Amino acid sequence: MGKKRVVIVGMGFAGLSAARQLSEYGFKVVMVDRNNYHLFQPLLYQVATAGLEQESIAYPVRALARNWSGTTFRLGEVTGVDFAARKLMLKDGELGYDYLLLATGSKTNFFGMQSVEEHAFDLKSLPQAEQLRNHILLLFEQASREPDQLKRKALLTFVVVGGGPTGVEFSGALRELSKYVLSRDYPEIDVNETRIVLVEAADSLLTAMEPHLRNYAAQKLEKMGVEIRFSTQVVDATAEQVFFKDGSNINTHTLFWSAGVAATPLAGNIGVTQGGGGRIIVQSDLSLESYPEVFAIGDTALFLQDDKPLPMIAPVASQQGRYVARVIQNREDGKNTENFRYHDKGSMATIGRSAAVATTHGYSFSGFLAWLVWLMLHLYYLIGFRNRLLVLMNWGFYYFFHERQVRLITRIK
């Protein structure tokens, strides 16, 4: 009897890690995604702030499939799962499976605030990054010829919600873009006219890190010119205003939301048990209670470790993908597999040029060294030599010349 067929839905970090490992084990692997590329989401904010080209952080899945034995790719959108018949339902057909891995990732969580969802920008896809870059550059075009000072101020005010790594990195990158690059493109606009407000509901940034790293990040951003508002919650928004719980508001045309994530809608459409954030509750081996041949991994899965849900981050997803591949291999060999346990190797965030914070294996550091480590790790985890080379060239060019070449408005509203 030949090797079993494993269908993997979602080509993020979890799905890709599982597919690579299963291919090495000799399984028939079918990778399914509605996009034909793997997206390196941690660098999306650099596309939005004109630092990188879109193509440099994406890699075609079919190029991976042709190099991985027994692996194929199916472009399609999943509509459901027939667990009894072991079939994955797609808009244009169906796929049978012996094992099914659900790794559909996450979406932005607006916590039920419809007005915020309608008017805010978020970063989960390449089109969103391009849209945000277009928006930022168009606002500078408008502001450069706007005679009314109040309107001009609103055009050049940017509100960023969420003090996690994405919010911190986007705020720093946007400030550097406006200060060092756009100030030369638009001499009509004074550097100090651009206002970036980072809003955080907690009393510190990067709450998962140690206090001295949180303080370093806040002090560095403030020194760069980013205004930080702690213990502040957004409750409403329009196209030209953001409203806060304390009754205050800010006139702005740009609200960027990075304050929460939830599982993609598929998790709620297939009739399985869900937990917080719409994530699928899994067993100790990441399988579903009623369907042991079905696994949920990455942001799709809700797994408790030490009575706490694991964070929705790339390292967790990658480790879970590799683990489930081992579980499937061991089942076929009649062996048991130890329960999944996430090994935290640390976290990091870049603040700006030559500044970052990092913690790993009990050590924490900040500044230039942390920034170098951040650069090297992100280059390492990018897929494809060409992508690594392009990103390295862009970063090197910006480091030495304070110039960002991707200042393209590719669509006019």
Choosing from 146, 169, 176, 200, the catalytic residue is: 169
Give the span between the Cα atoms of 261 and 278, in whole angstroms.
10
Give the span between the Cα atoms of 143 and 154, in whole angstroms.
9
Specify whether the CB–CB gap between 285 and 268 falls below 8 A. no
Specify whether the CB–CB gap between 159 and 254 falls below 8 A. yes
84: CB partners within 8 A, 6+ apart: none
Closest to 97 in 3D by CA, of 27, 18, 37, 16? 27
Any idea what the Cα angle at residue 107 is, between residues 218 and 311, rounded to 5°? Answer: 55
User: What count of other Cβ atoms lies within 10 Å of the Cβ of residue 108?
Assistant: 18
Catalytic, 169? Answer yes
What residues are annotated to the active site?
Answer: 169
